[in-house]
Amino acid sequence: MRMDLYRSYFSGRSRSLLASLSLLAVCYLLLLFPAYQKRRDVRRDYSMWTGSIAQLHNKSQRIVSSRCKSNFSRSKLSELYPGKPLGSIPVFVGRGSSALFGGRTYGPPFGFRGCEEQLREAAELLPQSSGGIPEELVPSGCKRCIVVGNGGVLAGSRLGPFIDQHSIVIRLNNGPVSDHSRDVGTKTTLRIVYPEGAIKLPQEYDPDSLLVVAPFKCTDLTWLKAMVRKEPLSLWQKLWFWQSVPELIPLEPHNYRILNLDIIKETAINYLGFPEPTYIWWRWNQAIPTLGMTSVITALLLCDEVNLAGFGYDMHHPNLPLHYYEAIGMDAMNSQAVHNVNREKLFLASLVKGNVVNDLTGGISW
């Protein structure tokens, strides 16, 4: 009798445990299903996207398989914006080059005024000649480049193989490659960052790439020196950043570059039509170009042909993912007071319409 009671008790407990586990599994699947559906169908919700994945791939294949045309994008830019030549602005600042490249007029991010000592010390740690991309990374000849933005429109695009066929692949800030290579590719030639936006995952740093730092304040050069020397930042230095920054990057000194801030100045004044920068109290009294916009101008300086992917904001659907790698909504751009994304959108649209650049993801509309 007692044995029957034991059997009945444990049998009931087993059934309860099995039922609990089954219920937990169902709840877990129900939680995952909407996220899976949203990721799978996200491109269908973009109002500016009217094509199919097949059309996207056919267009990309035509572009990457065609013969590269020397100086093509810069020539088209000159036709589109006569009187505003891009010129031959050196892209990087390094040892053996003029220390400021005319940056005495403005402080960061439009020039290096007030940061001369930090700039000199940081440049001393970098290669003697930082004028261009080393030939061991990019062979000489016509260069077809792509700037990979972090836009949510990349999710599900399956553009990775086409992106990797470019001579130079430029990525921005913390846009990851791991777990997203199907959509964004695996190749990285340059990753342009500012400290707060730099990726923290060590595996995302390609030892055969360049990490290009765009200093938005003098302390950013102090951070760069610490990363090159593999030294910790002091508590006082950390206080100057508006969010946490990487404290160790697995790259060698020859992998680092400093972006010439004349590029940001020219982008703001020459192409976005902003007035000359004026500094009021503790901030600049005008919009600052996004790093994506700055990277497009950088690509036009470095490359013969320029393509874009992952650009464009669909503000008609504020709940769509802003980035391809996270769930932050599109409406987060409304809080970006330091940028004028509408002005940038119009400029990028003019570049696409004028055949200066190709937009592989179709996120830039006009």
Name the residue with higher pLDDT: 60 or 4: 60
Name the CATH architecture for the domain at 51-359. Answer: Alpha-Beta Complex (3.90)
Q: Report residue 348's pLDDT band, with 50, 70 and 90 as the boundaries.
A: very high
In terms of Cα–Cα distance, which of 217, 251, 255, 222 is closest to 236?
A: 222
Distance spanning both ends of the chain, measured CA to CA = 83
Asked if pLDDT for residue 347 goes beyond 90, the answer is: yes
What pLDDT shows up at residue 285? Answer: 65
Q: Report residue 2's pLDDT band, with 50, 70 and 90 as the boundaries.
A: very low
**Residues 234, 258: contact at Cβ < 8 Å?**
no
> In this predicted model, what pLDDT tens digit does every residue of 330-343 receive, in sequence order?
777 766 667 788 89
What's the mean per-residue pLDDT of the chain? 84
- Which of the residue ranges 113-127, 152-166, 187-201, 204-218 would you say has the lowest mean pLDDT? 113-127
d(CA 229, CA 326): 32
Tell me what the mean pLDDT of segment 165-188 comes to.
96
N residues, the chain = 366
Asked if pLDDT for residue 189 goes beyond 60, the answer is: yes
Q: Token pair for residue 184?
A: 């964004």
Q: Which residues contact 229 (CB under 8 A, 6 or more apart)?
A: 125
Q: Report the SS3 class of residue 283.
A: strand
Which residue type sits at 364? I
- Which of the residue ranges 61-70, 80-89, 144-153, 279-288 would you say has the lowest mean pLDDT? 279-288
Q: Report residue 39's pLDDT band, with 50, 70 and 90 as the boundaries.
A: very low
Q: Report residue 142's pLDDT band, with 50, 70 and 90 as the boundaries.
A: very high
Name the residue with higher pLDDT: 300 or 28: 300
In terms of Cα–Cα distance, which of 171, 159, 163, 151 is closest to 42?
A: 151
Q: Is 36 exposed, middle or buried (0-12, 13-18, 19+ CB in 10 A)?
A: exposed
CB-side exposure of 353: number of CA atoms within 13 Å? 11
d(CA 216, CA 106): 12
Tell me what the mean pLDDT of segment 64-87 comes to.
92
Q: Token pair for residue 362?
A: 């179709």
Structural domain boundaries of the chain? Answer: 1-45, 51-359
Residue position matching structure tokens 């994008």: 73
Asked if pLDDT for residue 31 goes beyond 60, the answer is: no
Tell me what the mean pLDDT of segment 192-200 comes to.
96
d(CA 293, CA 350): 13
Name the residue with higher pLDDT: 284 or 201: 201
